[in-house]
Chains A and B, each alone.
Chain A
């Protein structure tokens, strides 16, 4: 038999490299997905009215202008999600790597000097715990709200008809068909697959109640003169988020630090940071990233 040609040999090398990498593919794909998730979620959550769109007309009198009860909730969500984003200026962008470098160098020397970084760990832990709880609570609340919107939509299309959910009557009716149908459905879940599920009466009632509860919100307002003013609307999702975040934080600091909990806090921080910080312009952002590019190379390879 003749020797395999160069193409076959190249394929052979490729196959060999593939078998070597294969055990690590789950780790690497996990890494890529975990990096993309907070970026995707945070970027979409940071969307708000751009300067090229018209300013909303102030609606103080809400009786005549609201469309109908089921759609009012979305408009209300709009009003209070206008968060202030911290914009970075070019001077901030340039100071970033300098500050980061000094912090890192300071921490490095502190760790070397203390020999046992236990104390440092503790202090930093409690500091991060406070921010961690807030950002993880927001992440979980937003995730629950999204799931709620997907599972309990206000309208859906099935069998060529538009079905509208009426939460007051706890019925789903078909509208916009050629002949107006008197057909109604009992379950608030969308799609014919979910309709076919034989859910007991109590479960269906619970689903309707949950749907209503999710729309109720409490207003929490905090105002300290010259320091801060904050106002948020919290519903049941926020409550669940806060509870889970507190529990996670206590477990993390007092019991053990499993990798998935570290990742949860990491997601929370990233999700919050991407919504709060903005490079203001492409030029500032590019400046900041380039400065950090050189700083990163220097710090990893020369120290």
Chain B
């Protein structure tokens, strides 16, 4: 494996320069570089990614509300909380929350309304499994480096990384008593979701251009044309690029712009809100 890694020049490894004796030629020094194979990063990495997604799953699981069975014998109904993606909001969250404690710095004059609390709190979630697996990964890496330093021979990094990552995940699950949820957690999409997603993809071409909801029925009845190969590039036409922007501004009511964090129970302007003491 080391022979293959050293003879092939393709990027299947990461190289790290080492301090070399001053009289060595550059080509010689290159062979002294410390190496880490990409497999040693990707394979524990997908496990760590799974741990992070599991943390997000558990976070939303804790926000589910189970209503008692109704009179018409429907059984327990589960209300799921809406999903708020962090993807576009890191900058805003960074600049409106305290750097050290993560506490929200937004002005205290906000009345706590029941449903928009979710909007405020969903931008971060506890990551116990992710942190544990990263700690396990670091421990495994340091062990690899220690053995490599002592024995002066390349070490199979996975030998130390696998127990590090798997052990830390298992230990965290055991301590938190969530082994059953870990065992049952799956990311496999259900059959109907896959159909929906495929249908969405094919219908999505029309949604960008037409704003008219009434055409939906007509679209569903039309037979899909068979396209064999197609490439297309087009400018994204979004409503706020057109004149509807002005209409939006007029619709906002008293002209006060509303932010997810400033939602009040009845849309009153912030300076009229009750102060939370």
Tell me the A residues contacting B by CB distance below 8 Å. 21, 23-24, 26-28, 30-32, 34-36, 38-40, 42-44, 46-54, 56, 60-64, 66-69, 71-78, 81-82, 85, 87, 100, 104, 107-108, 111, 117, 120-121, 124-125, 128, 132, 146, 148-157, 160-162, 164, 175-180, 190-191, 216-225, 229, 231, 233, 252, 257, 259, 262-263, 265-267, 269-270, 273-275, 277-283, 285-286, 288-290, 292-293, 296-297, 299-301, 303
Indicate which residue in B36, B44, B58 contacts A39 across the interface (CB closer than 8 Å). Answer: B44
Contact A31-B16, Cβ < 8 Å, known A52-B80, A277-B46: yes
Q: Are B14 and A35 in contact (CB under 8 A)?
A: yes
Q: Are B186 and A259 in contact (CB under 8 A)?
A: no
Per the 8 Å Cβ criterion, residues 190-245 of B in contact with A are: 197, 201, 204-205, 207-208, 211-213, 216, 226-236, 238-240, 244-245
List 21 A-B pairs, Cβ < 8 Å.
A31-B145, A34-B14, A43-B45, A52-B64, A53-B81, A61-B212, A71-B260, A74-B89, A82-B197, A153-B92, A154-B91, A164-B259, A218-B234, A219-B236, A223-B229, A225-B226, A229-B201, A266-B38, A282-B182, A300-B154, A301-B156
Contact A218-B235, Cβ < 8 Å, known A68-B258, A121-B10, A176-B106: yes
Q: Are A107 and B8 in contact (CB under 8 A)?
A: yes
Q: Are A289 and B45 in contact (CB under 8 A)?
A: no
Indicate which residue in A42, A71, A231, A273 contacts B201 across the interface (CB closer than 8 Å). Answer: A231
Give Cα A190–Cα B57 distance, bound, in whole angstroms.
33
Indicate which residue in B19, B182, B244 contacts A27 across the interface (CB closer than 8 Å). Answer: B19
Indicate which residue in B11, B88, B130, B245 contacts A132 across the interface (CB closer than 8 Å). Answer: B11
Q: Which residues of A contact B211 (CB under 8 A)?
A: 60-63
Give Cα A35–Cα B158 distance, bound, in whole angstroms.
13
Closest beta carbon of chain A to B204's beta carbon, Å: 8
Tell me the B residues contacting A by CB distance below 8 Å. 1-4, 7-19, 30, 33-34, 36, 38-54, 56-58, 60-61, 64, 79-83, 85-92, 94-96, 105-107, 109, 130, 134, 137-138, 141-142, 145, 149, 154-159, 162-163, 165-166, 169, 182-183, 185-188, 197, 201, 204-205, 207-208, 211-213, 216, 226-236, 238-240, 244-245, 247-248, 251-252, 256-260, 262, 270-271
Contact A121-B30, Cβ < 8 Å, known A157-B106, A221-B232, A293-B158: no
Q: Which residues of A contact B56 (CB under 8 A)?
A: 47, 50
Q: Are B106 and A293 in contact (CB under 8 A)?
A: no
Contact A36-B137, Cβ < 8 Å, known A104-B4, A288-B43: yes
Q: Which residues of A contact B142 (CB under 8 A)?
A: 32
